[in-house]
């Protein structure tokens, strides 16, 4: 069967691979759509330290059940949690399987979903009546929703989010879904417009406006209660700590590709909660699907391009050459 394989950095090709083995407790899926994310881009560029080559890419999945169970019968549309967990490491023992020490994510540590058939444990499958495009967006949105959960966002909070790509939009939508006032920060007008449709109360164009001054104007000089960093730049890592309110919460989803120097006095002086956020938990999937079912997320505006499987290698190259031009790319596996 056909698959999108990354043989080495900058060498993506359509290859033939074996059909999946079908273990007890697994559900056999016909893959319908798969989204590309920043992890795939980093892998294509050779900048993902977790990947080994060759690797079939893809972990943002919309599929139809071919061989299911009584609870999830054939013909059901589903999305899939693409992570594994060992069940015995410290994270798993605390019930935080999303941060398993031995996690293997589709398309990174194990072959992914940009292929025709996929066999997955029934416990990783989330059935839904949502359209396939919505289901394909679910997993990337869960990453932002999980960051909002980590930040303990409440309706009375003001939340600022650095970055309005796919993950940042999830954080914006997640904070708005909880009733919080949400400020979106980016340097792209189209992404900021989409962020407003996703629930951002205010937007800051970081190349035309002074972010620090605007944040203080919008918060009466206090700073946001929660800062969520979804870019991965040293300057936004620092600004999150500098601009968050006293006793506020900082949540990092992105990670900088180089060391970050901090004024650590602020950690103590402000008595900050500083947290990382990785992947997502089952409740995040349920929350995202509930949000998408309300129709309040701008699905069509968030998806920049839909291409065929045969077009996907060239699309990866285009994305690498101009990453700012794309928010979300989806691969339609069959016509």
- By C-alpha distance, which of 260, 227, 243 is closest to 148? 227
Q: Is the link from the previous residue into 54 a cis peptide, with omega within 30 of 0?
A: yes
- Cβ neighbourhood burial of 60 (10 Å; 0-12, 13-18, 19+): buried
- Could you tell me where in the chain the CATH 3.90.180.10 domains are found? 2-127+304-332
Quote the pLDDT of residue 335: 60
268-319: pLDDT as tens digits:
999 999 999 999 999 999 999 999 999 999 999 999 999 999 999 999 999 9
Mean pLDDT of the chain: 96
Q: What percent of the chain has pLDDT over 90?
A: 92
Distance of alpha carbon 7 from alpha carbon 106, whole angstroms: 16
Which ranges in the chain are annotated with CATH 3.40.50.720? 143-276
Q: Which string of DSSP letters, residue by residue, matches 206-227?
A: TTTS-HHHHHHHHTTTS--SEE
Segment 145-168 shows an average pLDDT of 97
Contact 198, 300 (CB under 8 A): no
70/233 Cα distance (integer angstroms): 47
| Nearest to 60, CA basis, from 85, 79, 75, 47 | 79
Cα(239)–Cα(253) distance, rounded to whole angstroms? Answer: 14
CATH topology of domain 143-276: Rossmann fold (3.40.50)
Q: What is the pTM of this model?
A: 0.95
> Model confidence over 89-146: pLDDT tens digits?
999 999 999 999 999 999 999 999 999 999 999 999 999 999 999 999 999 999 999 9
pLDDT in tens, 32-55: 999 999 889 999 999 888 899 999
Q: Please give the CATH number for the structural domain made up of 2-127+304-332.
A: 3.90.180.10
DSSP for residue 110:
B
Q: pLDDT per residue over 161-204, tens digit each? A: 999 999 999 999 999 999 999 999 999 999 999 999 999 999 99
Residue pair 329/319 in contact (Cβ under 8 Å)? The answer is yes
For residue 22, the model assigns a pLDDT of 82
Flag whether pLDDT at 258 surpasses 90. Answer: no
């Amino acid at each position: 069967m056909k698959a999108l394989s990354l043989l080495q950095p900058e060498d993506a090709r359509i290859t033939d691979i074996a059909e999946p083995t079908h273990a007890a407790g697994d559900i056999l899926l016909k893959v319908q759509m798969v989204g590309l994310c920043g992890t795939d881009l980093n892998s294509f560029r050779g900048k993902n330290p977790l990947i080994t080559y060759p690797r079939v890419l893809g972990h943002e999945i919309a599929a139809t059940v071919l061989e299911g169970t009584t609870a999830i019968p054939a013909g059901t549309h589903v999305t899939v949690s693409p992570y594994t967990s060992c069940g015995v490491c410290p994270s798993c023992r605390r019930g935080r399987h999303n941060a398993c020490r031995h996690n293997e994510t589709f398309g990174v540590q194990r072959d992914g979903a940009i292929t025709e058939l996929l066999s997955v444990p029934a416990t990783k499958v989330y059935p839904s009546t949502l359209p396939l495009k919505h289901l394909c967006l679910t997993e990337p949105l869960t990453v932002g929703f999980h960051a909002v959960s980590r930040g303990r966002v409440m309706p009375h909070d003001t939340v600022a989010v650095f970055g309005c790509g796919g993950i940042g939009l999830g954080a914006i939508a997640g904070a708005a879904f909880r009733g919080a006032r949400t400020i979106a920060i980016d340097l792209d007008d189209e992404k900021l417009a989409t962020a407003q449709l996703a629930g951002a109360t205010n937007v800051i164009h970081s190349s035309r406006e002074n972010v620090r001054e605007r944040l203080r104007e919008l918060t009466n000089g206090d700073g946001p209660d929660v800062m969520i960093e979804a870019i991965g730049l040293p300057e936004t890592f620092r600004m999150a700590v500098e601009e968050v309110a006293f006793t506020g919460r900082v949540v990092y989803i992105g990670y900088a590709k180089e060391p970050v120097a901090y004024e650590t006095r602020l950690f103590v002086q402000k008595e900050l909660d500083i947290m990382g956020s990785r992947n997502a938990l089952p409740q995040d999937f349920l929350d995202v699907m509930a949000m998408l079912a309300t129709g309040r997320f701008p699905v069509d505006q968030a998806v920049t391009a839909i291409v065929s499987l045969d077009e996907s290698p060239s699309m990866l190259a285009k994305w690498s050459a101009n990453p700012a031009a794309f928010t979300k790319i989806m691969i339609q596996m069959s016509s």
